[in-house]
Amino acid sequence: MNIQLTSKNALVGASTQGLGLAIAEELAKCGANVTLMARNEAKLKEITSLLPVVHENQVHQYLVADFSDFEKYQIIISDFFKNHTVDILVNNTNGPKAGTALNQDVKSYQQAFDLVFKTVCETTSLALPHMIKQKHGRIINVSSISVIEPIDNLVLSNAIRSATAAWAKTLSNEVAKHHITVNNILTGYFDTERINDLIDKQAISSGQTVSEIRKGRENEVPMKRLGKSEEYGYLVAFLASEYASYLTGASIPLDGGLAKSY
């Protein structure tokens, strides 16, 4: 299988590190023009210059945007789509803060909703007119296995990502006639900055060492290891390609077998 995304324009959220960066790199290797989106401009500049270029017409760029401030984000993303079109949209944001249901107030839920749900809906709504017009498009949502199996101490992610997945399924049925696919990837444990941060916080609260908690997470996975970021990029590239033209409305676990109920 040779995935070719030459001439396709991709927008990838939270793409200066972790899974977002791995996705951007893989799409670039497949020939897509990639727009990185994150809040740190220095990192964006550096990574944009390092993205693979595999053909002479391939151009990469970046967009400075902070997902945590929805009002400002709305202005920035709207301005971007006034002058750009996107064929492949990868909705990826930094995750909401950790915590239990008993620890959260209404304000926390609203902030998580703005971060994980509203930014995804807004970006997708702006990308869709071009996709509908050209009768082709790929919308890929970076989500979590918490959609099917809630994760302890991540109540905000559990709740809001489930809402986003339900919205995506509904949307997939509405745009399928335009040959636009909408899919969610349900992320398990990957060796990224995000999981290391969660492990650090868990170590502080539990009294266990970081290495003990990390080993515990690895042992939960039937493959006995954390996922590699590049493995995530491979799946996104497939979903973005013509090979996945009949795959839509799916929530695909990428978790080394971690989820027990799917």
CA distances (Å), origin 86, targets 65, 128, 132: 17, 9, 11
pTM, rounded to two decimals: 0.94
Q: What residues does each domain of the chain span?
A: 9-188+227-251
Q: Which helix H or strand E contains 235, and what residues bound it?
A: helix 229-240
* 89 SS3 class: strand
Class of domain 9-188+227-251: alpha beta
Residue 186's closest CA among 204, 155, 161, 219? 161
From first to last of the 262 residues of the chain, give the pLDDT tens digit: 899 999 999 999 999 999 999 999 999 999 999 999 999 999 999 999 999 999 999 999 999 999 999 999 999 999 999 999 999 999 999 889 889 999 999 999 999 999 999 999 999 999 999 999 999 999 999 999 999 999 988 999 999 999 999 999 999 999 999 999 999 999 999 998 888 888 888 888 888 898 998 999 999 999 999 999 999 999 999 999 999 999 999 999 999 999 988 6
DSSP H helical segments within the chain, as ranges? Answer: 18-29, 41-50, 70-83, 106-112, 119-134, 155-175, 193-206, 210-220, 229-240
Alpha-carbon distance of 74 to 95, in angstroms, equals 18
